[in-house]
Chains A and B, each alone.
Chain A
Amino acid sequence: MAESHGNAQGAAAHTEADGGHKAPFPPFQKDTFASQLVSLTIAFVALYLISSRLALPRVRKTIDDRQDKIEGDLAQAQKLKDESDAALKAYEAELAAARTRAQAIGNETREKLNAAADAERKALEERLSAKLADAEKTIASTRAAAMSNVRGIASDAAAAIVQQLTGVTPDSKLVDSAVEASMKG
């Protein structure tokens, strides 16, 4: 055994004690290199195996799971949104169809009612004008009758007046023509 840690430490303590040669700078003490290399190899291999076999796949899975969950949730939200959009669109379409149908029914009813009212009014007007014409005829005939009665009464009255005044019974034809003339005048 050429050198050992115990010797190195002992040497360091010794040199410090008698204040002679400086102790070797620890990072350059060659006798510690082998120990450090062995420990570093063990530590690094252990760390590499733990990382590659256990740690990194574990964290990768956690991150992937979260990513999947987020993507799944987003897809779900998108699906629901699409569904609600479709429902809204269907509702609006139905509403529009119902509105046009209601308008059509309204128009149809209005036209039907208008036509019925028109027909009734026309019939009523015809009936009324017929009655009016009848009434006018009656009035005309009544007036003619009345007028002929008036002439008769006037002729009689004139003849009576002439007889009273003159004591002569006038000719009825003359009286008639005189009455006629005066009535025209």
Chain B
Amino acid sequence: MDPIHQFNIEKIFTIGHIGGQEIAFTNSSAYMLLAVVLTSLLMLATGRKLVPGRMQSIAEISYEFVADTIRTTAGKDGMKFFPFVFSIFMLVTVSNLVGIIPYTFTISSHIIVTAALAFLVFFTVLIYGFYRNGLRFFKLFVPSGIPVVILPLVVAIEVISFLSRPVSHSVRLFANMLAGHITLKVFASFVTMLGAMGIVGVFGAVLPLALVVALTALELLVAFLQAYVFTILTCIYINDAIHPGH
């Protein structure tokens, strides 16, 4: 009944070695590929009817949802990043939702995964920002209409907040998924522990069981919401790369 056990990385087979480090195909890799396969099935294997069925509706709603999110936060120019943002959204959403199912693995409960995605967004913003705006990209750190006296302070704050983006971006998703799954596991283990204590325990187990059901519903919301938050932050950061002036 170790609540941490669900986060273990288990090797399925070895792919190779890079600089003495073993590169393995793990349960995490399997769930990443599962997310890719499920997304592909959703987007490619559903119908193309004039009046969509359920799965086709989900595919089209996913499309419109991400497209609207980009359009409202980053404007029309942001649509250049549509496949990028869509891939992030679907990867995180699908894997988070799959992770709710008992006995599965949640890839975003590993800081390395969320950090990799956050740094991918960070460097995309940085590189595209300089590519598109040149040195004008530094305007991002200099808000207009600030008195010269406090300008150095404001610029320092802006730079620090910009540099800390990947941290907050990745830790938010990681911590939410990790904490949610630990909470679920802890309450679920209460149920089995109390259930093993005889007739009184069985009645006592009702409360944690109800809590597990309620928490599962909450985690379903959190799984989607954190994926959405991750996506919308990505869009906001991309907007900075496109329109660096405040």
**Interface positions of B (Cβ within 8 A of A):** 4, 7-11, 15, 17-18, 20-26, 28-29, 32-33, 35-36, 39-40, 43-44, 48, 50, 52, 56, 59-60, 63-64, 82-84, 86-87, 90-91, 107, 109-113, 116-117, 120, 174, 178
Our pick among B28, B63, B117 for the contact of A59 (Cβ within 8 Å) is: B63
A76 interface residue (CB < 8 Å to B): no
Q: How many residues of A contact B (CB 8 A)?
A: 47
Question: Restricting to A35-71, which residues have a CB under 8 Å from any CB of B?
Answer: 35-44, 46-48, 50-52, 54-56, 58-63, 65-66, 69
A33 interface residue (CB < 8 Å to B): yes
Is the beta-carbon distance between B116 and A34 smaller than 8 angstroms? no
Is the beta-carbon distance between A38 and B15 smaller than 8 angstroms? yes
Q: How far is the CA of A46 from the CA of B76 in the complex (A)?
A: 26
Q: How far is the CA of A136 from the CA of B62 in the complex (A)?
A: 116
CB of B30 to closest CB in A, whole Å? 9
Q: How far is the CA of A174 from the CA of B64 in the complex (A)?
A: 145
Residue of B nearest to A46 (CB): B36
Is the beta-carbon distance between B109 and A27 smaller than 8 angstroms? yes
Is the beta-carbon distance between A9 and B10 smaller than 8 angstroms? yes
Report the 7 A-B pairs with minimum CB-CB distance, sorted nearest first.
A55-B43, A52-B83, A39-B29, A43-B32, A5-B11, A26-B7, A32-B9
Q: A27-B110, A55-B43, A55-B44 are in contact. Are A35 and B8 (CB under 8 A)?
A: no
Chief secondary structure at chain A's binding surface: helix
Which residues on the B side are within 8 Å of A62 (C-beta)? 48, 52, 56, 60
Which residues on the A side are within 8 Å of B9 (C-beta)? 5, 8, 26, 29, 32, 35-36
A31 interface residue (CB < 8 Å to B): yes
Is the beta-carbon distance between B28 and A39 smaller than 8 angstroms? yes
Our pick among A3, A27, A47, A60 for the contact of B36 (Cβ within 8 Å) is: A47
Which residues on the B side are within 8 Å of A8 (C-beta)? 9
Is the beta-carbon distance between A27 and B178 smaller than 8 angstroms? yes
Our pick among B20, B29, B63 for the contact of A60 (Cβ within 8 Å) is: B63
